[in-house]
Amino acid sequence: MKKSILTFVVVSLLAINGFSQNDKLVTKTGHISFFSHTVAEDITANNYAVTSTLNPSTGEAVFSVPLQSFEFEKALMQKHYNSDKFLDTKQFPKAKFKGTISNITDIDFSKDGTYDASINGELTMHGVTNPVIESGSIRVAGDKIMLDSKIDITLADYQIAFDKGKPSTNIAKTVVATIKAEYTK
């Protein structure tokens, strides 16, 4: 009898613990693209190796971005982007966003629909951390949850700046990052 009660307690604790850990939604195939527009040229890069977690209970959202996974149309652009004169991806291999969806109570994860999301957090890139306040949307469709947002990133805020030479005319001072993540319940 004691063994049965002990087994029941252990199984119950494991089940409760398992449910609390399953509150987080995870994806390892998030997509971030960035776009730079200047008179000289447009530059687009895509990264499909973004890892993200989203906690529907608390609104906590985390994104980890392996910077060397950005793919460019031209190999030379990719080489410059990874170089120590630009993002120095050997020294700073990842960018990270950690924040909260501040209006999480307005989002019904059990009901299909598209919901506005207010996102507050910190973006760390190139060894520099800055606050980010943006908006986005969360779409619930069956067992899928899709998060979409855009962030304007001023490169000088992350100690990435070009005062002269070709990069100063070919790379925008502010780039637009488009974030898409799909989670499964």
Say whether pLDDT at 18 is over 70: no
Could you tell me which residue, 172 or 27, shows the higher pLDDT?
27
Spatial separation of the C-alpha atoms in residues 112 and 31, rounded to whole Å: 22
In a domain, 8, yes or no: no
pLDDT of residue 144: 97
Structural domains counted in the chain: 1
Spatial separation of the C-alpha atoms in residues 6 and 2, rounded to whole Å: 6
* 168 confidence band (pLDDT: 50, 70, 90): low
Locus of tokens 């291999």:
93
Q: Are 150 and 69 in contact (CB under 8 A)?
A: no
Spatial separation of the C-alpha atoms in residues 56 and 54, rounded to whole Å: 6
In a domain, 141, yes or no: yes
Please name the residue ranges forming H helices in the chain. Answer: 2-21, 75-82, 166-170
pLDDT of residue 172: 87
pTM over 0.85: no
Could you tell me which residue, 109 or 11, shows the higher pLDDT?
109
CATH of the domain at 116: 2.40.128.110
Tens digits of residue pLDDT in 129-156 = 999 999 999 999 999 999 999 999 999 9
In a domain, 3, yes or no: no
Note down the domain range covering 175. 24-184
pLDDT of residue 77: 86
In a domain, 19, yes or no: no
In a domain, 125, yes or no: yes
In a domain, 18, yes or no: no
Residue 146, class by beta-carbon neighbours within 10 Å (0-12 exposed, 13-18 middle, 19+ buried)?
middle
In a domain, 2, yes or no: no
In a domain, 17, yes or no: no
Spatial separation of the C-alpha atoms in residues 106 and 104, rounded to whole Å: 5
Q: Provide CB contacts within 8 A for 95, sequence distance 6+.
A: 64, 65, 67, 123, 124, 125, 126
Q: Provide CB contacts within 8 A for 134, sequence distance 6+.
A: 119, 149, 150, 151
Say whether pLDDT at 78 is over 70: yes
* pLDDT, mean of residues 88-105: 96
Instruction: Quote the Cα angle for 26-27-33, to 5°.
Output: 135
Distance, CA of 182 to chain centre: 11
Spatial separation of the C-alpha atoms in residues 97 and 121, rounded to whole Å: 7
Instruction: Quote the Cα angle for 153-114-125, to 5°.
Output: 20
Say whether pLDDT at 6 is over 60: no
Give me the chain's average pLDDT, please: 87
